Amino acid sequence: METVNLIKDYILPIGGLAAIVFLIIFLSRMTALINKLIKTIDGADDSVALLNKSIEKLQEPLDTVVKVSKSVDGMHDSGSRALKNVKNYVSSNVSVLKNKVHELGKKAEEKDEKSNDL
């Protein structure tokens, strides 16, 4: 029974004191860790702000590239429409063009014959 009293009177208070000391050390290290984490997050906020500024600087050249791309697309579309219209015109008037070329050929032959006769 004396052993139990000895444990109760001396060892338990010492163990409690040791637990409190370890708890104080643990809490102080956690506080230091949280402070470092806060500083790191603040640094990350500055980095994110700098990154946003850089992205804003890049936005204007990207807008210019988009405008140029739209202009090139518009020119391509206009060229495609013009070529399609020419193709349609030629295919619908091929007989007229054939007759014109044939007449020009006859006129050229007649000129050649007249110049050969002289």
Q: What is the total residue count of the chain?
A: 118
Amino acid 29: pLDDT:
97
Per the listing, tokens 């009293």 go with 5
Residue 118: the pLDDT is: 57
pLDDT in tens, 10-21: 888 888 899 999
User: Which structural domain, as residue segments, surrounds residue 48?
Assistant: 2-117
Asked if residues 64 and 57 have their Cβ atoms less than 8 Å apart, the reply is: no
Is residue 7's pLDDT more than 80? no
Tell me which H or E stretch contains 25: helix 12-92
Render pLDDT for 37-61 as a digit per residue (tens, 0 to 9). Answer: 999 888 888 888 888 888 888 888 8
Structural domain count of the chain: 1
Q: Which pair of structure tokens corresponds to residue 73?
A: 């697309």
Mean pLDDT computed over 94-118: 77
Largest CA distance in the chain: 155
Residue 1, classed as helix, strand or coil, is coil
Is the model's pTM score more than 0.85? no
**pLDDT value at position 69?**
92
Q: How far apart are CA 2 and CA 9, in angstroms?
A: 10
